Amino acid sequence: MLEMRDVTFHYTDGTPVLEHMNLTIGTGEFIGLGGRNGCGKTTVTRLLMGLEKPVSGDIFLDGKRINDEEAAARSPYIGYVFQRPERQMFRPTVRQEVAYGPEQLGRSREEVASAVTAALQATGLEHLAEAYPPNLNRGEKQRVAIASAIAMHTQYLILDEPTSGQDSADKKSLMALLSRLHRDGLTILIISHDMDIFAEYCQRVIVIGHHTKAFDGTPQDLFTKREDLYELGLNRPDAVTLSQAVAGLPYCKSVDEFTAAMLQR
């Protein structure tokens, strides 16, 4: 379990970003992190990654306080896909990029090779193994970042707005990959402004409001019980609105589910 306990944080200009923030990410969960622009979502993930340190409060991994562990020490168990994944790539080929993590962990040449092969396979990148990472498109770069995490056998994968600016085919393919990795045991935290992702893929959604957590629960509760979605920078997914408009229809988390439910009536 990855935990943030009573964390307060501001950048050097002193403007409060987070105050007394608590959150838990249980092993095996698929969690969405939402809220208005600038509410502190990326900051939360940077604190979890060790790229920022809390002003007060603690970060725990499986009950062990890790405030003083640098990002490099956390990377074997917490993988990260930046909003701009090219910023995390600096080797000349995809294969070498993905090999970097396990090499840093001191794995043998054979272990590195087999971890890289498995990670490229899992992310559908085998055909790009010798490609130059800066030449890839954003979706491919994201997959390289995901493969780099998988090659280190990380337990947690954090993704910052991975589907923003992507067309629906790229979005579906990325979400299908994440669902597969989740089924195989990876714990996922995804920052998003896309309510369909929260409804369709996440078991739990955490929303940051005024410097702290404003909601923590199921997408069903978020989209059917909260009346302040707009204030929280969220909206209700079409499928949920449609299913609520038809008397007796169950909560539908995708338009496909809504269509199927209508056909069964």
14 binds ligand ADP (CB under 6 A): no
Exactly one of 2, 7, 17, 178 binds ligand ADP (CB under 6 A); which one? 17
Rounded Cα distance between 232 and 37, Å, is 10
# residues near ligand ADP by CB under 6 A: 11
Closer to ligand ADP at the Cβ: 33 or 116?
33
37 binds ligand ADP (CB under 6 A): yes
Nearest to 41 by CA among 157, 190, 149, 141: 190
Using DSSP, state whether 216 is helix, strand or coil. Answer: strand
User: Hey, what are 231's tokens?
Assistant: 């204030």
Rounded Cα distance between 180 and 146, Å, is 12
Closer to ligand ADP at the Cβ: 10 or 236?
10
Closer to ligand ADP at the Cβ: 38 or 217?
38
Angle between helices 109-122 and 138-151 (to 10 degrees): 140
Stretch that binds ligand ADP, among 40-48, 114-122, 144-152, 254-262 (CB under 6 A): 40-48
Contact (Cβ atoms closer than 8 angstroms) between residue 133 and residue 89: yes
- Site for ligand ADP, residues 153 to 172, rule: CB under 6 A: none
Burial 41-61 (b: 16+ CB within 10 A, else e): bbbbbbbbbbebebeebebeb
What ranges in 90-227 are assigned the alpha helix state H? 94-104, 109-122, 138-151, 168-183, 195-201, 219-225
Exactly one of 2, 23, 32, 40 binds ligand ADP (CB under 6 A); which one? 40
CB of 21 to ligand ADP, least distance (A): 12
Residue with tokens 């000349």: 92
135 DSSP 8-state letter = G
Exactly one of 41, 143, 171, 211 binds ligand ADP (CB under 6 A); which one? 41
Mark residues 43-82: x for contact with ligand ADP by CB under 6 A, - for none. x---------------------------------------
User: Hey, what are 61's tokens?
Assistant: 């991994």
Stretch that binds ligand ADP, among 30-38, 106-114, 167-175, 241-249 (CB under 6 A): 30-38
Closer to ligand ADP at the Cβ: 33 or 252?
33
Rounded Cα distance between 44 and 50, Å, is 10
42 binds ligand ADP (CB under 6 A): yes
211 binds ligand ADP (CB under 6 A): no
Exactly one of 26, 28, 38, 124 binds ligand ADP (CB under 6 A); which one? 38
Residues at the contact surface with ligand ADP, assessed by CB under 6 A: 11, 13, 17, 35, 37-43
